Every structure is written in C-alpha cells, then in structure tokens.
Structure 1
Amino acid sequence: MKKLAILIAFIFILTVTSACGNTTPEQSNTSQALQSNKEQPQGQENKENDSLNIPPDNEKTTTTSHNSQQEAKPGNVETQPDHAALDIPTSDSLIRSPEGKNLSQVEWKPGAPDVTLPIRFGTTEAELVLGLDHPNGTKAVMIFPFTSVGWQLDLYGMDTEVFDEYGELQEGYKIQAALHDFDQDGISELIVTAGNSIIDLSIWVYSFTTVGDLQKINPIKQELSITGQSYIVLDGDEIIAPYGSQGLFDYYKYVDKVFMQPVY
C-alpha cells in the first residue's frame, strides 16, 4: 500500500509540472504580437498613424478637378478674346496706349490681300474684313458668319482726305482697327482709323447692339467720327486725338454710351 501511495503521488506531481510548462499556440502568438507593438520605435508608430489621415488619391484628384472646373467656368459677362497687337513699329501705329505702345490689331494697305479681325460681341461672333472693294472703294465689312450676313461700315460720312474720289485710300495711307471696351461692360467697341501717321488721320468708333434679326437690322452703330493728325490714344473711357502743330489734343469721353468732349 505504501508503494502504491508513492506511485500515485509521483504521477500527480509529473502531471502538474507538465501542465505548467505547456502554453497554447494562441497564447504564445498573442504575447509576441503585444511585445512587438510595445518595442516598435516611436517614429515608425507616428508614421503609420499619420498615414491613416491622408486622403485617398481619388479624393485629391476629385478636388483638383472640381477646382479646375470652377476656374474654367465663364462668368456672366462675356470677355473679348485676346488679340495680340500688330508687330509694327510704334511710329507706324495709328492707335496707341498712354505709354506709347501700339494697340492696333489689324492693318490693311492698298494692294495687299484682305485682312480679317475676329470679334465676339457678347455671345455674337463676327469678323471685320478690310480690303479693296469691288469695283472700287475701300471694304470695311462686319460679317456675322453664322448668318452669312455682312454690313458695310460707313467710312464716308464726314469730311476726310484719307480717301480719293473713288473711295480708295490715298497713296501711302493705311487703315487699322482695334477693339476697346470703353465702358467696361464686357462688350468691346470697334475703333477704325485711316491715315498716313504724319498729318492726316480719320477715326471711327462703332458699338454693337443685340437685335432680333441680323439679316434685317444692322447691329453696328457709329458712335464717333472725327479727324486727327497722326495717331490716337486709348486711355480707359477716353480717346485722345492730337491736332495741329503745337502739341494740342482733343479729348472724347464715353459716358452712358455717348462720346462727349469734357472741358479740362
């Protein structure tokens, strides 16, 4: 009996020792994972946390695309397409800025092919064509491509010496044109000038009015018809035209769609 008791006690001790020494695989893995996180360098942990706050690439792309659409969206006021000034010497320019830079955007001289200046009056597209008329005279026609209609500009309604008896430009003369928004309403006015850059200059200014039928009603109205000496200056809502040989100037201010001569 004594031997049997000793054997039972030995078996019990062996069983308890074996149970205390074994660890389940789940417990071992969990301990290793917790220890690995605890020993991770601080910098690396912040880097991983920060990456959680970075928006996905598709969100960034969507935001950029939305901003681009907003920038490209046109406003309520139509803007005139940019037209580079003619590459001509300033001394040959009939239309200049207050700083003396050339503003003419198109030029035609007798003997040259027709020239065209694209224009957009608000939402209405047009073209100014300058050239030699047939069978004689000077062509200055406003064409509206989408209606196949053209209206001749009136260049002969004042006492001017830039044309001969046939309505053609005098020898050594040229005709130039430019767009300028005098009243800043988003629709440019058209300035046409003809002269020899020395002592003889004629100036016409035209505005555009929206009409119901371009084929029946001329939308182009002559707002100003004056003479000068060598060139004109466009300064905001004013036209400055030199005359005489003493450095004198005439001023014309565009007020409420009408050119007036202010007293300075």
Structure 2
Amino acid sequence: MKKLAIRIAFIFIITVTSACGKSSDQLNTSQALQSNEEQPQGQEDTEDDDLEASPDTEEIKITSHNSQQESKPNNVETPPDHAALDIPTSDSLIHSPEGKNLSQVEWKPGAPDVTLPIRFGTTEAELVLGLDHPNGTKAVMIFPSTPVGWQLDLSGDTGVFDEYGELQEGYKIQATLHDFDQDGINELIVTAGDSIIDLSIWVYSFTTVGDLQKINPIKQELSITGQTYIVLDGDEIIAPYGSQGLFNFYKYVDKVFMQPVY
C-alpha cells in the first residue's frame, strides 16, 4: 500500500507538472497571437497617420510645384494679345480685311508718350512713341533687361515728317503687332499719316542677339507709302494708292517682303 501511495503521488506530480507546462505554453501562444493581432492594429494606426499626414504632404508638394512655376521663366513664344484701340475705324491707319481697326497704340503731337508692351519670343520689350527732345519724333524700342533703348529706323520715301523730324500737323502715328509667317514671334508695324491721302508704313522684325546693349535686334524689313490705311491679311500687306481704288500687295516670304504680280 505504501508503494502504491508513492506511485499515485508520483503520477499526480507528473500530471500537475505537465498541466502547468501546458498552461505556460498556451499563455505564450496566446501572447504571441495577441502580439500578432496588435501588429495589424499598429499598421492601421500607421496608415491613419499617413492619411492624416498626406494632406500636409500634398500641400507641400503643390506649394513647391507652384513655387517652381512662379520662378520658372515664361518660355512661351506667343506674344501677349493686346486689344485694339477703341477708336473709330475712320481714324485707324491699320485695318483687318473686314475693315476693323487693328492699331493697338496711337500718338499725336502734343499728347504724352504712349507705350506698347511687346514680347518677342521670350524677350520682353516696349515701344515708346512720343515727341523727341529737343525735336523730332520718338519711336524707341526699350528692353527692360538693359538700360539701352534703340530708335526705330523711320527712313524711307516719306512725307509725314517735317524738316525737324516731327509729324506734320494733323498727322498721327500708330503701331500694332502681326505674325506674318506664323512662327510665334510677331513683327512690328508702324504707320504714320493723316487718314486721307498720305500714309507711310514700316515693318520691323526681331532677331535674338547676344548683347542687347551693343547690337540692335530690330531690323526694318519694309518701308512703303500709301493712302488712308493699310490692310493686314495673313502674310500680306495691302496698301491702297491713287484715286482709282488701286492697291499694292506685299507678301512676306522666307523673312522677306516681296511684291507679287497678280
């Protein structure tokens, strides 16, 4: 009996020990499962944090992009669109084929200087028209990037100026931009006349140069005369002359004005 009691006690101890070990393993397994279950929760918290942070991140990216856009120079070569002068068609020296005024700036003797903003490709400029000093007519191309201004070449067979280089009494000078060859860089057209029988027309092109202070980038491409007004039609200038409703045509071909025969 004594041996039987000792054997029963030994079996009981082994059973209890085994049970305790199993509980410990179960506890460890439970902790591991709990740890694994908590990890996705942690990931969800991280995703939530990312979602909460993403608007700020997106805002920073957008702000940075806008800043780069603001600091990046405008390389678009299309010049700005300037509205035509609000003047009667009868006072305009530059017309469309439909008879609408195309002049964008006008100056008359006695009036303050006027300015026409221009963009030649990526180069900004301003045309200033007014009374020169001590006499003469001011038609100066100014480039804000340099302190130098270039006087336009107004030479040619013209009677719109007096012996001092000033506009004749009752005359005016107007200007506009027109892209004759559709290359994205406008040419400049300047006209002066009395809207009746006397008209002078000059056309200028722009060429990119290395130093605007030393090299004049503006070249006179055409200097002609006509009457009343001119018409700009695509790559052509149409200038009336005489009293019989006749017209001269000048076509811009390969950067050169030619007078075609019709």
Same fold (TM over 0.5): yes
- The residue that corresponds to 1:106 in the other structure is 105
- The residue that corresponds to 1:86 in the other structure is 85
Equivalent residues of 1:77, 1:185 under 8 A apart:
no
Q: 2: CA distance between counterparts of 1:140 and 1:76?
A: 27
Q: Which runs of 5+ in 1 are unaligned?
A: 1-57
- The residue that corresponds to 2:148 in the other structure is 149
Equivalent residues of 2:74, 2:122 under 8 A apart:
no
- The residue that corresponds to 1:24 in the other structure is none
- What letter is aligned with 2:203? V
Q: 2:239 aligns with which of 241, 247, 253?
A: 241
TM-score normalised over the length of structure 2: 0.72
Cα drift, residue 79 of structure 1: 0.9
Residue 103 of structure 1 aligns to a residue whose secondary structure is coil
Cα drift, residue 77 of structure 1: 5.0
Residue 207 of structure 1 aligns to a residue whose secondary structure is strand
Tell me the alpha carbon deviations over residues 203-239 of structure 1, each in whole angstroms, 9 at most, x when there is no partner: 0000000000000000000000000011000000000
Alignment of 1:135-214 (within 5 A): 135-155=134-154, 157-214=155-212
Equivalent residues of 2:76, 2:122 under 8 A apart:
no
Q: Which runs of 5+ in 2 are unaligned?
A: 1-54, 67-71
Cα drift, residue 119 of structure 1: 0.2
- What letter is aligned with 1:132? L
Q: 2: CA distance between counterparts of 1:248 and 1:221?
A: 29
Alignment of 1:52-131 (within 5 A): 77-131=76-130
CA RMSD, Structure 1 to Structure 2 (Å) = 2.1
TM-score normalised over the length of structure 1: 0.71
Matched, 1:215 2:213: yes
Cα drift, residue 137 of structure 1: 0.2
- What letter is aligned with 1:125? E
- The residue that corresponds to 2:248 in the other structure is 250
Cα drift, residue 199 of structure 1: 0.1
Residue 90 of structure 2 aligns to a residue whose secondary structure is helix
- What letter is aligned with 1:211? V
| Percent sequence identity over aligned pairs | 90
Q: 2: CA distance between counterparts of 1:192 and 1:82?
A: 17
- The residue that corresponds to 1:36 in the other structure is none
Q: 2: CA distance between counterparts of 1:221 and 1:76?
A: 23
Q: Which runs of 4+ in 1 moved over 4 A?
A: 73-77
